Chain A
Amino acid sequence: MTELFIRLMRKPQGFVGLVLLALIAAACLFGPALAPYAPEKIDFLGRFRAPGWQNWLGADQFGRDILSRLMVGARSTVPLAFIATFVGSAAGAIIGVGSAYLGGRTDEAIMRTIDAVMAIPGLLMALLLVSTLGNGAGNAVIAIAVAFAPGMARVTRSAALNIRNQDYVKAAIARGEAAPWIIFREMLPNVMAPIVIESTIRVSFAVMLFATLSFLGVGAQPPASEWGLMVADARQYMHQAPWGLIAPSAAIALTAIAFNLVGDGLRDALNPKDER
């Protein structure tokens, strides 16, 4: 594990990604304590205040400090995106490996079902689920997890099909091991690398998807300082106060980039052939 970390730090993209992630994690953990103002503190004299010494990133239509809102909002954006990805990836990985192990008609049935689910665009799928389950951050997490699982299942299956043909899996079958052992202990550990890489990249999608849902008004609800919601709120005042739009958008983009970079770095670091 530490060896992996060192190798990750050696890659430029891994290093930059990890530093950005550390900053984001700090914001999630200590955001409310570090924020200069309370996120919902209204200041009518400071409406649309441009970025300056009072409000470093400016203020919104109620005079709320954007930096403070971003720092507090990190907590309701990034961890939820992370959880949604984790749940979706885990479910997808298990379906994928299981499908590859079972093979034949079962595999065909599972994969065609997944194809059908994947035919629905992720955002539409999430919207559909949230509108059935009801608005709210918790349901948005479920919706994103469900939207992610099929893609993950497909990626995992293709990796697991190679593993399925390895002699150690055949050896396990020949000695009469039970299916759960083969799936979880023989196959899953060997497909972890692509799963981890794919998940880190997907976290960034989840952040954006989550922000989109909030932007559309079905994710987090006002006055929460969720980033997507902040973008949605600031949209009407785009010409008066562009900073209200730019700051949360940049935060979303930065988070997405951070996870993407770590994903890239992991792909190189997890490659055992890359031992230099």
Chain B
Amino acid sequence: MTSVLSIQNYTLDYISSVGPVRVLHDISLQIEPGEVLGLVGESGSGKSSLAWALMRHLPGNAREVAGSLRLGDIDLQRLSPRELTRIRGRRLGMVFQDPSTSLNPTLTIGRQITEALIQHRGLKPRDADALAIDLLGHVDLNNPAAIMRRYPHEISGGEKQRVIIATAFGCRPDVILFDEPTTALDVITGARILELFARLRRETGVAALYISHDLALVTRVADRVAILERGRLVEQAPAADIFRAPRHANTRALVDAVPRPERRLVHDKPRDQVLLAASEIEVRYGSGGLFRDAPPPATKKIGLEVRGGEILGLVGESGSGKSSMARALTGLARFSGKITFDEHEIHGMRDMDAAYRRDVQIIFQHPDSSLNPRHRIDEILSRPLKLYGGHLADIPRLLDQVRLPQSYANRWPHQLSGGEKQRIAIARAFAARPKLVICDEITAPLDVSVQAQIIELLLALRAATGTAFLFITHDLNLIRQIAHRIAVMRRGEMVDLLPVEDFDADHVHPYTRELMAASPIPVG
């Protein structure tokens, strides 16, 4: 049996100002008919470059040094542009990461899906319409005929991804490339997309290359997993084996970094005294006008308590109001309600004095945007020291604390990697010697291995300073490793607030159970 997709000794360079940079070294992969190959790698490992090479859509500075790419009996590298348009979509489908940008916002869903069918399957418009409705129904979209008439902004992200998957499958390609199709979606929506993918695969027997950074997720959808590390293929194994018996050291490191709820990282108990108590916190963005009602509040009268030295997890999907909570607590959003901090009552942004601002620090999600690109690291770190009292001589100590070399003080933020930038943001927060640090999805944009290092660092800092954390995340597995208690939010309401041990118990809210079911727990 011949492979549907075969990559032989493929080597790819990007030409940059400092000369050629090798992104893929001697990659050899085969996908057999009906097989799903998972390709896992951290950011910068070259996995997307490989996908683009297969789609023959490489940037202008790419140079293919060696190797061949074959789709069945076709040599992809020799195709003319005209031949390529007949291959793309028709024989080689692709599903992208972000569904919100992969549909054209000015065309109806119907136009976009029938266009593909007319182009690639040579159908008449009327037949294409009928087939499109059929396909949309098949990916579990309610009322497909109505969806056909809508524009992309009128349906949700999950629905968009379903439309794209329907289009990809509808053209009956030999192979479909999935480039992180669930990364931009919520956990539960993503889990449903994966279920859909599994079902469609059973029905059609299509082969697929599934690219992701999430090893745990890939082991659930793929038959075989290939691990890519800085452009080199370090391991290929059946999905079930890779978790149980990783052979290569890099794979083992990757497997170890995957958060597992049963492996607790925190063993102490929080103090009894309540550090921060928030009650009836309501955050509203925008007010009603003459002709429109006020939008619904982002959080609906929520209360929570953080004890001294406690790690409180706050979990929910995007739009659940968890970040609004963080903004209210740090005085970045207007709110109504009451915060009691260290026996000090706060009713609004104005009541937050310097002492409160010092004691409650926030670390943001995106390290790229939380450090001012025009300030050097030492200036960034000097601000809290100047504001809250402290010596500039402490900067080397702060860098030591987050395990960065002291020479970094003179660097610019863009000279640092994502993980290093996040360390600087952590150092900046801890420079104030806070009692509570709010972490707003701080590990979400980072690779798993970097995430594990950051978590370890935070826990070490906590051990040294006794700081409490309010840890906001969408990753239930991660938070179950470290939190003492976890609050679950949905649509501005708090549905659950449980000690972490109770998460396996029966009395959890149905939504919490759904969330747990959707979080991919590593197999093996």
Which A residues fall within an 8 A CB radius of B?
Answer: 166-168, 170-177, 185-186, 189-190, 272, 275-276
| B432 on the A face (CB < 8 A) | yes
Which B residues fall within an 8 A CB radius of A?
Answer: 16-17, 330-332, 352, 354, 357-358, 361-362, 364-366, 369-375, 383-384, 387, 414, 425, 428, 432
A171-B354 contact in complex given A177-B383, A177-B387, C-beta closer than 8 Å: no
Contact indicator A174/B17 (Cβ below 8 Å): no
Q: Which residue of B lies closest to A171 (CB)?
A: B370
For the complex formed, measure the closest distance between the CB of B422 and the CB atoms of chain A, giving whole angstroms. Answer: 11
A174-B372 contact in complex given A275-B17, A276-B17, C-beta closer than 8 Å: no
Contact indicator B387/A174 (Cβ below 8 Å): no
A174-B357 contact in complex given A189-B374, A276-B17, C-beta closer than 8 Å: yes
Contact indicator A171/B331 (Cβ below 8 Å): no
State A168–B362 Cα separation when bound (angstroms). Answer: 11
Contact indicator B387/A171 (Cβ below 8 Å): no
Q: Which of B331, B354, B369, B384 contacts A166 (CB 8 A)?
A: B369
State A57–B237 Cα separation when bound (angstroms). Answer: 82
Residues of A close to B373: CB separation below 8 A: 190
Q: Which residue of A lies closest to B425 (CB)?
A: A171
State A130–B16 Cα separation when bound (angstroms). Answer: 54
Contact indicator B357/A167 (Cβ below 8 Å): no
For the complex formed, measure the closest distance between the CB of B343 and the CB atoms of chain A, giving whole angstroms. Answer: 20
Contact indicator A171/B428 (Cβ below 8 Å): yes
State A172–B370 Cα separation when bound (angstroms). Answer: 10
Contact indicator A176/B387 (Cβ below 8 Å): yes
Q: Which residue of B lies closest to A178 (CB)?
A: B387
Residues of B close to A172: CB separation below 8 A: 383
Q: Which residue of A lies closest to B357 (CB)?
A: A176
Number of A-B contacts (CB under 8 A): 55
For the complex formed, measure the closest distance between the CB of B363 and the CB atoms of chain A, giving whole angstroms. Answer: 9
Residues of A close to B332: CB separation below 8 A: 170, 173-174
Residues of B close to A176: CB separation below 8 A: 352, 354, 357-358, 387
- Chain A contact residues: helix, strand, loop or mixed: helix
Q: Which residue of A lies closest to B352 (CB)?
A: A176
State A185–B374 Cα separation when bound (angstroms). Answer: 9
Q: By CB atoms of chain A within 10 A, which of B358, B372, B375, B384 has the most?
A: B372
List 4 A-B pairs, minimum CB-CB distance, nearest first. A167-B370, A189-B374, A167-B364, A176-B357
Q: By CB atoms of chain A within 10 A, which of B362, B374, B384, B432 has the most?
A: B374
A171-B357 contact in complex given A176-B387, A186-B372, A190-B372, C-beta closer than 8 Å: no
For the complex formed, measure the closest distance between the CB of A177 and the CB atoms of chain B, giving whole angstroms. Answer: 7
Residues of A close to B358: CB separation below 8 A: 175-176
For the complex formed, measure the closest distance between the CB of A60 and the CB atoms of chain B, giving whole angstroms. Answer: 51
State A175–B384 Cα separation when bound (angstroms). Answer: 7
Q: Which residue of B lies closest to A170 (CB)?
A: B332
Residues of B close to A171: CB separation below 8 A: 362, 364, 370, 425, 428
A-B contact pairs, 17 of them (CB 8 A): A167-B366, A167-B370, A168-B371, A168-B372, A170-B362, A171-B370, A172-B383, A174-B332, A175-B361, A175-B387, A176-B352, A176-B357, A185-B375, A189-B374, A190-B373, A190-B374, A272-B414
Q: Which residue of B lies closest to A169 (CB)?
A: B372
Residues of A close to B16: CB separation below 8 A: 276
Q: Which of B331, B365, B375, B428 contacts A173 (CB 8 A)?
A: B331
Contact indicator B369/A168 (Cβ below 8 Å): yes
For the complex formed, measure the closest distance between the CB of B497 and the CB atoms of chain A, giving whole angstroms. Answer: 25
For the complex formed, measure the closest distance between the CB of B141 and the CB atoms of chain A, giving whole angstroms. Answer: 34
Contact indicator B374/A174 (Cβ below 8 Å): no
For the complex formed, measure the closest distance between the CB of A195 and the CB atoms of chain B, giving whole angstroms. Answer: 13
For the complex formed, measure the closest distance between the CB of B253 and the CB atoms of chain A, giving whole angstroms. Answer: 30
For the complex formed, measure the closest distance between the CB of B206 and the CB atoms of chain A, giving whole angstroms. Answer: 37
Q: Which residue of B lies closest to A176 (CB)?
A: B357
Residues of B close to A173: CB separation below 8 A: 331-332
Contact indicator A175/B383 (Cβ below 8 Å): yes
Q: By CB atoms of chain B within 10 A, which of A167, A177, A186, A275 has the most?
A: A167
For the complex formed, measure the closest distance between the CB of B510 and the CB atoms of chain A, giving whole angstroms. Answer: 34
Q: Which residue of A lies closest to B371 (CB)?
A: A168
Contact indicator B364/A170 (Cβ below 8 Å): yes
For the complex formed, measure the closest distance between the CB of A161 and the CB atoms of chain B, giving whole angstroms. Answer: 14
For the complex formed, measure the closest distance between the CB of B248 and the CB atoms of chain A, giving whole angstroms. Answer: 34
For the complex formed, measure the closest distance between the CB of A116 and the CB atoms of chain B, giving whole angstroms. Answer: 23
Contact indicator B383/A174 (Cβ below 8 Å): no
Residues of A close to B17: CB separation below 8 A: 275-276
Residues of A close to B361: CB separation below 8 A: 174-175
State A167–B361 Cα separation when bound (angstroms). Answer: 13
